[in-house]
Chain A
């Protein structure tokens, strides 16, 4: 009997400790009445610096509120956030990817911000990118409509940049910002700019060097194809238009030789080659503006080359800032979210730091007019948001496993060992199986 009692006591102690551990996290309040909020985010060094400044200003304007910042490297962020959710240790305010919206709402992680936003006099939703806000709306069935569970930190149009100095040196007219290249024209110009400049028999200057995971979309979409059909439940890559775009992408390296070869094609390389001025075309995101400010050459933005639709395409990234449903200080937390996403003061600091485009429409209008700072064609960013940008396919589904595997398996196509037509045929059923699983998971999480 005694032994059993001892065991029971041990178990009680254990449970209490587990309960105590589970209870930590979220906002805490110190004895002097200061309200402490935890803000978890990610970003490059310039972004971190900018956000720290903005938070400092927020604290000055809101005495009695202290913000504790937790920042991680970009590639570790998602894991850390999931671990915090699983461990019941969520920060009050945090970034989240739009693709995770449904899962987080269904499981009660995110607070519904709608009542706070409607109540607030400072927020005018008509003055923020509709695309951005809609990314964080969810009515329990469909994303894109219903209540708001997060505010867009920004919208990130992934534009195409070109090295203006290189064009001028080669005596080639710079790309027209209103009339995109066709694929053929793009190849022709790129071939002219792929050169051996030091005479060692190997090219040291290339037309371009795209990372397949982030640039293939532009070619596929512009050719009238997509990863998913309209219902978002069927993988649609087994479409000749899709294969054509993928083949073109692979041919840039294997057939037209306008990119570094297989053995040189790591992402890091192409990014650095662009920075060193050895590449004519390279994608530019708004988050790169502060880094590209210091480039040793002039660069500007242009539309992506167009496929059979005749219309350029690319994606717009975004990160939402959400509030934990368990926060102790919802009012202050929402206040901070608004400060970071919709307030004039906060937004101005972030835009001046060149880490993003303005969230506010009237501010964006002003910003575009400034053609003196790099890149001068800022209108391209705005055009992408207003006109030809889209969300990444993985955003529409409960998880992006089916989409990720497309890129995991793609190397043989890029190396020219497998044709795009064969690849899409072989890959479609594999991806469909994973997508079916994600759809099923989503249904389960809704009840």
Chain B
């Protein structure tokens, strides 16, 4: 009996050893920084020297910080790109799901932005948006329209960023939709056709419900990703844009933490952002729970 339990124990140790690396990774690179940052958010840490506990002062300051609201608003505004991207990608996927020649080529074309580095893409769009010699304005000029200096004008900088992020994410979203569409059994459509359903009815009652899990996944991941948008504005509008109109919340956190020696304050913002993402995701899961599979 004893030997058996020994053997069992040995196995158990091996088991733990095998899962140790990812757990250690999680602890060191996720949990530890998280706890550190949580503590930091209650201090006046400047990122260099001592951390002095100051209670909720950082959070109190946040509520009267104009730029915090502004960058929060900018971040939410930029998320307008999410529904636009989803609709466009679904339409594209529907188009590319047909058996017509050339679809493979188009799939590749739409996917290219996804594999390109975000920094390179940002630099490219930076040129495209140049008010003087940029591609976008040269194109508009063909129609006699005089384009603005996109990234230097606070009214156009956000739409410009949205356009770019939609373009960048389109291929990935389209690919997931395409996969979802292809997994829908033909027999549903055949049955609907026999019942005399119109194309729109088929889309509404078969396609849309069948791709719903993908839509849900995309909405959740896009909102999480969208809350953390940073690289694009850091490269295209390195000072946060005219009147800080393109600074995202992560941009503002970075600005405070690394440029202005306010790591504690930045940690407090990061905490708020984390809570925000958590709540939004929770709501989405609740909503999805309620509505999914009610067609079954």
Contact = CB atoms under 8 A, between A and B. Distances in A.
Interface stretch (A140-148, A341-349, A368-376, A396-404): A396-404
A310 to B, nearest CB: 33
Contact of B258 (A17, A83, A268, A408): A83
A399 B131 contact: no
B258 A78 contact: yes
A264 B261 CA distance: 34
Interface in B142-181: 146-149, 152-154
A263 B148 contact: yes
Chain B: interface size category: 35 or more
Given A18-B28, A411-B243, A444-B52, A265 B152 contact: yes
Contact of A263 (B52, B149, B261): B149
A262 B132 CA distance: 9
B243 A408 contact: yes
B259 interface: yes
Contacts, number: 95
A108 B238 CA distance: 30
Nearest 8 A/B pairs, CB to CB: A107-B49, A107-B48, A263-B131, A411-B242, A264-B132, A263-B149, A399-B260, A401-B260
Contact of A265 (B24, B32, B148, B149): B149
Contacts of B137: 263
Contact of B47 (A85, A264, A400, A408): A85
B244 interface: yes
- Secondary structure type dominating chain B contacts: loop
Contact of A409 (B49, B152, B243, B254): B243
A439 B49 CA distance: 16
A108 B263 contact: no
Interface in A2-40: 10, 13-14, 17-18, 21
A408 to B, nearest CB: 5
B240 interface: yes
A21 B36 CA distance: 15
A356 B152 CA distance: 32
Given A262-B152, A409-B244, 7 more contacts: A79-B259, A85-B48, A86-B48, A263-B147, A264-B149, A266-B131, A399-B260
A86 B154 contact: no
18 contacts: A78-B259, A82-B258, A83-B258, A103-B48, A104-B48, A106-B48, A106-B49, A260-B132, A262-B131, A269-B132, A398-B261, A400-B260, A401-B259, A408-B244, A411-B243, A441-B46, A441-B262, A445-B46
